[in-house]
Amino acid sequence: MIPGLAERLADVDARITDACRAAGRQRAEITRIVVTKFHPAQLIRDLVTLGVTDVGENRHQEASAKFAELADLASLRWHFIGQLQSNKARQVARYATVVHSIDRPALANAFGDAPVLDCFVQVNLTDDPGRGGAAPSELDALAECVAAAPGLNLLGVMAVAPLEVDPRRAFAEVRQHAERVRAVVPSATALSMGMSHDFEDAILEGATHLRIGSAITGERVLRG
Ligand SMILES: *Cc1c(COP(=O)(O)O)cnc(C)c1O
């Protein structure tokens, strides 16, 4: 077991519980995804021992290698949260339970029909297209495209709070964008937002899926 891992996980979970209480929300509404990118497969094994059910990865090569190494962990759910090339979509669908980063029609159209994959459309809150995510003005059309894709089930909207703004305001903005998506797909009520440094603000603004890495795993060791 990696030193300090159990303590950091317990600490983050206590903070999630406190933030739910402050927001008047139920803890059960929230899925806590531990982002394990750049960490070895053994860390995921340790996390599963500690009761973790959902992990997040942002690069296909790394994720598929870990998935193969951890094939015995049959009930673990894998969330793909990174930018994705269309020609990798079908490969990601083999191991991912949820893809959080659908950001363009070509990617939505690149998944096969089966198995049906849960997904989020990602909105970019910055002016930098390199950050990933669709521009807010493109979001409704993207949601329509996902709704029409037979292999995708739209859960909601995903975003990363930009470094340069108050995260609470950024998450409030995501909520507004999500309302427009819900006008297209009424069942798409989920919000994937909140990372190590801002998950409490995200909970206050209605996050249903938290993507928390370094606050639980410690510093990323392999790279980045
Ligand atoms: C790395 C990553 C996270 C987790 O970041 P931390 O700051 O380590 O919690 C969440 N979401 C995405 C999209 C990421 O790439």
Cα(55) to ligand 1 centroid in Å equals: 11
What is the pLDDT at residue 112?
85
Q: Within a 10 A sphere around the Cβ of 129, how many other Cβ atoms? A: 11
Provide the 10 A C-beta neighbour count for residue 136.
16
Tell me: the pLDDT tens digits for 130-158? 899 999 999 999 999 999 999 999 999 99
- Residues 34-81: pLDDT tens digits? 999 999 999 999 999 999 999 999 999 999 999 999 999 999 999 999
For ligand 1, atom 13, the nearest C-alpha belongs to 81
Distance between CA atoms of 29 and 20, rounded to whole angstroms? 9
Indicate whether residue 202 lines ligand 1 (CB < 6 A): no
Mean pLDDT of 208-212: 98
What CA–CA distance (Å, rounded) separates 18 from 16? 5
pTM of the full structure:
0.96
If you average pLDDT over residues 186-198, what whole number do you get? 98
The percent of residues in the chain predicted with pLDDT above 90, rounded, is 91
Nearest partner of 101 among 157, 140, 144, judged by Cα: 157
Residue 81, ligand 1, Cβ within 6 A = yes
- For residues 83-110, give the mean pLDDT: 97
**What DSSP string runs through 42-82?**
HHHHHHHHTT--EEEES-HHHHHHHHHHTTT-TT-EEEE-S
Whether a cis peptide bond, with omega within 30° of 0, leads into 105 is no
* Contact yes or no for 210/30 (Cβ under 8 A): yes
Q: What is the pLDDT of residue 3?
A: 87
Residue 224 in this model has a pLDDT that exceeds 60: no
Q: Which among 9, 33, 35 is the best mutation to test ligand 1's pocket, defined by most ligand atoms within 8 Å of the CB?
A: 35
Residue 41 CB partners (closer than 8 Å, separation 6+): 65, 66, 69, 70
Asked if residue 222 has pLDDT above 80, the reply is no
The length of the chain, given as a count of residues: 224
Mutate to test the pocket of ligand 1, among 43, 54, 58 (most ligand atoms within 8 A of CB): 58
